[in-house]
Amino acid sequence: MKRTQAGVVPGTFRWRGQTSTHCLASGLDDYPRARYFTESERHVDLMAWMIYTTKILENVANRLQLDSKMYREDRILFQERLSEHWSEEDGIWYDIGVDGAEHVDPETGRVLRLEQPKHVRHYGYVGLFPFFLKIVDENDETKLLKILHNLSEPHLLWSEYGLRSLARVDPYFGKEEDYWRGKIWMNLNYLALRSLKHYSIHATSKIVKEKSLRIHDELRINLIKNLYKQWRRSGFVWENYSPKNGKGKGCFPFSGWSSLIVRIMAEMYT
């Protein structure tokens, strides 16, 4: 990954193989990214995975009494770069890239000069990967409270059926292929529950613990109720679920990650 997916700036990463509508390498196919492809693009979900991976490899090396210095140094560098993705105003991490043009030829419509790279502001799953993967410091009350507050906002991701993949107020919500542009996915909701449970236990702030537990319990019940309802209605579990009415969408029958509902019911988070 360090060799094939590295960004221009040391310690940054970008998914390769994008098209104008898809970033298939990320697994979140049509989730909106920067409008213009440039080498300066930096993807926050990939950065979060790299931090998560180096932390695991560091722990494995330590258990095996091997040199873990490389993994530790990488993790520290990646975490520093991750901070550049954070939006204090919006309480989420964003991709960094070129999302607009400074000058366009009025006659041909040709882009003559692009804007400088900056936060690509789409509130959704991608920007929450550092939280989903429990990378946020348990002592960081300010950051955690901002994330938790927004997580339960109905105009963003919260719904009575689970967390939407993209904010309801985003201009791309429900548009075009509409695969990762609002649909509710059980695998990412599972990661959200897992993280909420973690911070409800390990956060140093009492208010963060209480709020994490409350959101966890409400989200868990919403997911269980909706999946049971859809199974009774259709006889199947589905690949993903509508953010508007909770109905099953995509492939069916699809146990896959929808079978995580069993672990959710048992609160078995690993």
Contact 32, 181 (CB under 8 A): yes
Q: Pick from 26, 137, 45, 54: which is nearest to 85 by CA?
A: 45
Report the distance separating Cα 247 and Cα 231, nearest Å. 10
Cβ neighbors of 253 (< 8 A, separation 6 or more) are 236, 237, 238
Task: Cite the DSSP H helix spans in 64-185.
Answer: 69-82, 129-132, 141-151
Report the distance separating Cα 225 and Cα 203, nearest Å. 28
- Distances in Å between the alpha carbon of 55 and those of 36, 77, 130? 32, 12, 13
**Set 29, 84, 178, 218: catalytic member:** 29
**Set 30, 95, 99, 239: catalytic member:** 239
Q: Which residues pair with 264 in a beta bridge?
A: none
Report the distance separating Cα 193 and Cα 239, nearest Å. 18
Report the distance separating Cα 5 and Cα 1, nearest Å. 5
Active site residue 137: no
Report the distance separating Cα 125 and Cα 173, nearest Å. 13
Active site residue 160: no
Mode of pairing for the β-strands spanning 86-87 and 92-93: antiparallel
Mode of pairing for the β-strands spanning 118-120 and 92-93: unpaired
**To 10 degrees, what angle do helices 141-151 and 206-234 make?**
30
The first and second tokens of residue 131, run together, are: 């939280």
Active-site positions? Answer: 29, 239
